Structure 1
């Protein structure tokens, strides 16, 4: 693989995540990333000082064009809840690492984002989800940093109004601490500690070869977690913008992927994928 292709591939997962958050469609996100690659292949790379920033700008502009043209609508049906997961190991190199994510952007928020104008949606996603500075977003929108900041603020207010109030916010570090406490309690079989970090109405969804199975309630989830505490021996990752864990079998093949939703210091939802067919579609990294 040539150096330019290799450099682009190192950004692909993040670029796909950006495009998907903006457009709400995995298929459209793939198209946008492919178009970004074509533009990079035609660009004199010697003129690019920051490849990650350049690619984010290009993906943002293409996504904005798609939104404005009406070619894309958020796809939040059951088909979009399948094996479409974006997984990045926490210690994997990422020049523009996803930081300060706040409330995770899942299927419900994709629906909320549909209430925003294209420029508001792009500004909100890039700034509040991917921590892109307002000045960089402004270059995509053709606005000043101050004007972009106002645009993001207006979008944020609209999102809160549609959601019915202030969305719960927590930094990645704070969310990780809750997840680590859960994993440690599961590993050590500390039932009471598990109940402390689980919301009373927590939802636990498991993707298996036989289908999806749902467990509701802290007591039931804590019982299952205590029995299956081996997940604590995996590696932490970011799964669809949420804190997660990947574990592997002894032969190096993926065993499971867990994703957690944390609200106000408690886990409200856990998604576990143990279906080998779904895991094979995730393009998971190999264990270190």
Structure 2
């Protein structure tokens, strides 16, 4: 392959990776899809490809659709063990973030909610909301009619909105104060204060350190508060699991303020917050090492702020 063809592909790599990540919710799977698209680009009759960006977008989209429809993916998602892979602010895989829709489409909350969509609905929604493709182009990418594209996006918007619980574009400083207060209450054991900081319909999802077969879900303020208090309560067993006494940092993960537990230079746990109207609406706790692999790569190259809690 000539250098010009490689350069043309590389110019699209970040955009393709961002598209694949939004469709699959997994950075590792997204990287595989982009690499597969490169192999197809390498083998293609490139002289006959009029618009390389459009061709590559279609190839990556269909590779992701094949993955979403695969027996393995269906089993993992149906088993209730699937959770999006979190990404640290600045990761190019997060893609465009100029509009609210683009930022929301990559949040852990929306990536989780998109599991309720069919693969085609998910693809149409992402192409429209995150990348602003017109319906005529979406139709060409997905091999459907333009009216079908409009219907898929409309249904997807309704389904996501129907179960959307939190996340607003409020004052970042005020949101940080809420997260810091929530963390302080969790560390002190003031469960009643945790309850007061939660919305009436607050939820929490945890991967149980990656040890549970299914995700752990909590759906009342009292149960969410109890889960949070138990999770943040320091114990010797947790210190051994974390490889030491972690410090706690606040950082942006998938556009949401998050608390990261860090031992040395390794993130051993992340809790992402969705805040709505001054209260915590949902939490996503992730501690499985494989889900934190890419975030850890970024963290080691990141210059973090001072920890809000220096040691557990």
Q: TM-score, normalised by structure 2?
A: 0.58
The reply on whether 1:235 has 2:234 as its aligned counterpart is no
Residue 254 (str. 1) matches residue 267 (str. 2): yes
Rate the CA distance shift 1:218–1:11 in 2: closer, same or farther, 3 A.
same
Map residues 64-213 of structure 1 onto 2, 5 A cutoff. Answer: 64=65, 71=70, 74=74, 75-78=76-79, 80-81=81-82, 85-93=84-92, 95-97=95-97, 98-101=102-105, 104-106=109-111, 109-110=114-115, 112-114=116-118, 119-128=120-129, 130-135=130-135, 136-141=137-142, 148-157=149-158, 159=159, 166-168=162-164, 173-174=169-170, 180-186=176-182, 189=185, 194-200=194-200, 202-203=203-204, 205=206, 207-208=208-209
SS at match of 2:104: coil
Residues 60 and 41 of structure 1, relative CA distance in 2, 3 Å threshold: same
User: What is the CA RMSD across the aligned residues, in angstroms?
Assistant: 4.9
Query: 1:16 — aligned with what?
Result: 20
Alpha-carbon distance change, 234 to 55 in structure 1, aligned in 2, over 3 angstroms: farther
1:170-213 deviation per Cα after TM superposition (whole angstroms, max 9, x unaligned): 66634977863432213555967744442355436363376587
The whole-number CA distance in structure 1 between the counterparts of 2:180 and 2:132 is 33
- Asked if structure 1 preserves the Cα contact closer than 8 Å seen for 2:270 and 2:285, the reply is yes
- Aligned-partner SS, 1:173: coil
How much has 1:236 moved relative to structure 2?
Answer: 1.0
| Per-residue CA distance 1:198-254 (angstroms, 9 max, x = gap) | 2355436363376587775354356468868964x232111xxx7353636463222
Q: Which entry has the higher C-alpha Rg, 1 or 2?
A: 2
Q: Which runs of 5+ in 1 are unaligned?
A: none
Task: Point out where structure 2 has 5 or more consecutive residues left out of the alignment.
Answer: 1-5, 235-245, 304-312
Q: Which residue of structure 2 aligns with residue 58 of structure 1?
A: 59
Q: 1:26 to 1:223 in 2, by over 3 A?
A: closer
Q: Deviations over 1:84-123 (max 9, x none)?
A: 642222233455344233893355642x324xxx644421
Q: Is the 8 A contact 2:250 2:258 kept in 1?
A: yes
Alpha-carbon distance change, 155 to 220 in structure 1, aligned in 2, over 3 angstroms: closer
Conserved? CA contact 1:103–1:167, under 8 Å: no
Alignment CA distance shift 1:174-1:119 (3 Å): same
Greater CA drift, 214-223 or 56-65: 214-223
Query: Could you tell me how far 1:140 is from its partner in structure 2?
Result: 0.9
TM-score, L = length of structure 1:
0.62
As a proportion of its length, which structure holds more helix?
2
**How many residues end up aligned between the 2 structures?**
264
**Deviations 1:13-56 (Å, cap 9, x if unpaired)?**
524323316xxx999766643421213444669x89896x7644
